[in-house]
Amino acid sequence: MVGSVVDRPAATRQRTGLVLTALIIGVVSFQLNATMVTPAMPDIARTLGTTTDLVGLSQTMFLLIGGLAGVVLSRLSDHVGRRKVLVISLLVMSAGSLIAMLAPNIGVLIAARVLQGASGATFQLTYLILRDVLSPKQFGQALGLVTAINGGVGGLDGLAGGALADTVGFRAVFAVILGLGVIAALMAGRFVPETHAGTGGRMDWAGAVALTGALAALNLGISQGNDQGWLSPLALGLLIGGAVLLAVFWRVENRVGEPLMAARHLRSRQVWPLVATTLLALTGVFCAINFTVVLLSQDEQLGYGMNATLSALMFLAPPAVIGLASGPVAGWLAPRVGWRLVLRVGLALSIASLVFAAAFADSRWLVFAAFIGLGIGYNGLVMTTLSGLGVVLSPKESPGALPGMNGAAFGIGASLGIGIVAPTVDGGDYHTALWISVAVTALALVASFLIKPPSTIEGENI
């Protein structure tokens, strides 16, 4: 790979372990930013004397900036070096964590959360660095491990965040994130080799501005559509504005000499079907796990009447923990039998699990069984292969572009799924909401058959 300064075969097992450890800590620090803070939001509102709406805005800003950072910084790393961008991102995030820990009011907290959003590129940079320094088969295994550990943390950090907020206060949550961020930055600076440093070229800032503006408008438009109705002036304006900016982005990419991603790649079956598959998969499955069944389990009249802790232990933690085991298996299998094949098997298993959950939504234990299937199919197989394909299919002249776009599709898909099923869930029709997830996930499976990469990439079976 152009610009890589690492001789893959010469990489020692110890060195690889240190690199992987540094990258995992960085990824976990982002995950904690995203989910460990959530159960502390009521304490934040009480301590800072503000409203839950404004605290929610701080979370929205973090997620939005994180998504945009993933698009821009992953591509920027093609020009200035991956380690440099990663370390700077982690240091900015750590500064934001320190400010959040000491925040005297909600305004300062929102500004701090914006700074923490710089860690949004950590996932993409981690995948790109692993691709640069490891062989194809090693990359698959490492990717599966990173995805699995992050998913496993995602099932437990909410419980830890709630416990810290209840016993010490929300500032302890940001102290934990600060500590991990500093450790990750120091380890990355010491052990992660620099790749793509000094490769030259100019960053396509016009394309980056147009694309990030479009993604921001679409994300906010989906959020406003969910809150105020899809035909509300603000939601419509944002969605139309996002579509216009996407058209501007397309025009820019056809004109500049060194685009964010060349238009010929954008319209190729190497790129857009993967982004579509990611968008549809997250739209279908994420809302079922993190929204529909969570509310179903806590509904005292139409659901199971469980408290939040028991709901998380029964429906959120098991898929995450099961993904901890199945993710590395997916990463080991994918380069050997084909990334697309493992993805399709995962999507098919996810669809079957959602069908089972929708058909037997009245039984908590049968839904629990269905979520075991989602832990294998979605958390393990689908999430690992979608992340991996974003790296292995990215054009060689712009290797950081597709991971950034694919990462944005993760975020938009998650928001879109909740927006689609929210009216149905609000009406208490959980069965229909789950059937909607089945239909959208089936579309993701169809889209996966449209992915058409080169027959092999560096000896890998795609």
What is the C-alpha to C-alpha distance for residues 403 and 69, in angstroms, rounded to an integer?
A: 12
CA-based angle 222:250:236, to the nearest 5?
A: 25
Give the pLDDT confidence score for residue 362 in this predicted structure: 94
Q: Which CATH class is domain 12-191?
A: mainly alpha
Spatial contact of 58 and 111, defined as CB atoms under 8 Å apart: no
Q: b/e for 380-403, b at 16 or more Cβ within 10 A?
A: bbbbbbbbbbbbbbbbeebbbbbb
* Interatomic CA distance for residues 199 and 81, integer angstroms: 8
Asked if 12-191 and 262-454 have one fold, the answer is yes
Listing DSSP states for 81-135 in one string gives -HHHHHHHHHHHHHHHHHHHHH-SSHHHHHHHHHHHGGGGGHHHHHHHHHHHHS-
The confidence band for 421, taking pLDDT boundaries of 50, 70 and 90, is confident
Q: Looking at mean pLDDT, say which of 226-235, 347-356, 381-390 comes out highest.
A: 347-356
Beta bridge partners of 456: 461
Mean pLDDT of 233-259: 91
What is the pLDDT averaged over residues 410-429? 84
Label residue 344 by pLDDT band (50, 70, 90): very high
Region for 200 from its dihedrals, namely left if φ exceeds 0, alpha if ψ lies in -120 to 50, beta otherwise: left
Indicate the pLDDT class of residue 458, thresholds 50, 70 and 90.
low
Distance CA 422, CA 416 (A): 10
- Mean of pLDDT values over 65-87: 89
User: In the predicted model, is pLDDT for residue 274 greater than 90?
Assistant: yes
Mean pLDDT of 78-95: 93
The full length of the chain comes to: 462
The confidence score (pLDDT) of residue 173 equals: 92
Mean pLDDT confidence for 45-73:
84
The pLDDT-based confidence of 450 (bands split at 50, 70, 90) is very high
Looking at the chain, the whole-number percentage of residues with pLDDT higher than 90 is: 45
| Alpha helices (runs of H) in 313-448, residue ranges in sequence order | 317-337, 339-359, 364-374, 383-392, 401-426, 430-448
Nearest to 209 by CA among 240, 241, 248: 248
Q: Say which residues have a Cβ less than 8 Å from residue 260's Cβ, sequence separation at least 6.
A: 75, 204, 207, 208, 211, 249, 253, 398, 401
Residue 449 Rama label (left phi>0; alpha psi -120 to 50; beta): alpha
Mean pLDDT (the chain, rounded): 87
Could you tell me the pLDDT band of residue 4, with boundaries at 50, 70 and 90? very low
pLDDT of residue 8: 45
Q: What is the pLDDT of residue 197?
A: 64
Highest average pLDDT, of 210-219, 243-252, 317-326, 350-359, comes from: 350-359
For the chain, what is the radius of gyration of the CA atoms? 21
- Listed by start position, the domains of the chain span 12-191, 204-257, 262-454
Predicted TM-score (pTM) of this structure = 0.83
pLDDT band at 199 (very low <50, low <70, confident <90, very high): low
Lowest mean pLDDT across 15-29, 217-231, 338-352? 217-231
Query: What number is the average pLDDT over the span 13-18?
Result: 77
Highest CATH level, class, for 262-454: mainly alpha
